[in-house]
């Protein structure tokens, strides 16, 4: 990446960081593009070189934050000897839940705005510096485990929706229980999802 590209990426990141801080403190509707560029220290016209409008930067921010959570957890998983898909999912789940417990503003932001459509797109479009997408990381998890699914996308969808649905109330409000109390239930359900739909298991 050349100096110009690096400078552009820094500006894009500054805008995303400013938007995240404002969206989580003031709220999406009470934040204007003028607020974002002022906080980022960037001219308003420059904003439109990177994003179409406020909704676009919000969606890009959601994609970036969600895939970064997944990618960070995968990097930690790669340091282990875990190969079974259920146990890989459980490891990833626990890592992501820990990150959300640490950063409750991120949990609140993602829970309010993250949709499956945005996450599905981000799995392909958002790439790490080494050029690997979240979808490719997910495919590597499955390949390493030896599991086979007719619809791998449905499996990750079910796991994500399960974890997202449980984590919001459990972490923010300890309802119906603390997240640590709910984790064993989550782990059991993840194992059930993987075992029930693994077509390789019946061979």
User: Looking at residue 101, what is its pLDDT?
Assistant: 94
User: Looking at residue 160, what is its pLDDT?
Assistant: 85
For the stretch 30-85, pLDDT in tens is 999 999 999 999 999 999 999 999 999 999 998 888 888 988 999 899 999 999 99
55, 77 contact by CB (below 8 A): no
User: Looking at residue 26, what is its pLDDT?
Assistant: 93
CA distances from 129 to 6, 7, 61, 67, 83 (A): 12, 15, 17, 13, 25
User: Looking at residue 128, what is its pLDDT?
Assistant: 67
- Closest by CA position to 157, among listed 117, 103, 105, 203: 117
Say whether pLDDT at 151 is over 70.
yes
Cβ neighbours for 17, distance < 8 A, ≥ 6 positions apart: 40
Rounded average pLDDT over 166-195: 93
**Residue 135 binned pLDDT confidence (cut-offs 50, 70, 90):** confident
Report the range out of 48-52, 124-128, 155-159 with the highest average pLDDT: 48-52
CA distances from 47 to 7, 31, 56, 123, 125 (A): 14, 14, 11, 24, 20
Which residue did the predictor score with more confidence, 95 or 7? 95
User: Looking at residue 127, what is its pLDDT?
Assistant: 67
Lowest mean pLDDT among 23-37, 136-150, 179-193: 136-150
């Amino acid at each position: 990446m050349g100096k110009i590209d690096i400078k552009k990426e820094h500006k894009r990141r500054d805008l995303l960081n400013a938007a995240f801080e404002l969206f989580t403190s003031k709220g999406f509707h009470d934040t204007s593009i003028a607020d974002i560029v002022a906080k980022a220290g960037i001219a308003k016209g420059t904003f439109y070189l990177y994003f179409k409008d406020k909704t676009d930067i919000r969606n890009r921010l959601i994609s970036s934050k969600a895939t970064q959570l997944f990618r960070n957890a995968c990097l930690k998983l790669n340091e282990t000897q875990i190969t079974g898909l259920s146990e890989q999912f459980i490891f990833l789940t626990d890592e992501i839940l820990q990150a959300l417990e640490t950063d409750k503003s991120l949990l609140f932001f993602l829970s309010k705005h993250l949709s499956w459509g945005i996450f599905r797109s981000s799995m392909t479009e958002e790439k790490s510096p080494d050029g690997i997408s979240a979808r490719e990381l997910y495919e590597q998890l499955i390949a390493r485990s030896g599991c086979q699914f007719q619809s791998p996308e449905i499996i990750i969808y079910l796991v994500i929706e399960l974890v997202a649905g449980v984590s919001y109330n459990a972490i923010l409000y300890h309802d119906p229980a603390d997240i640590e109390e709910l984790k064993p239930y989550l782990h059991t359900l993840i194992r059930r999802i993987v075992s029930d739909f693994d077509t390789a298991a019946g061979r």
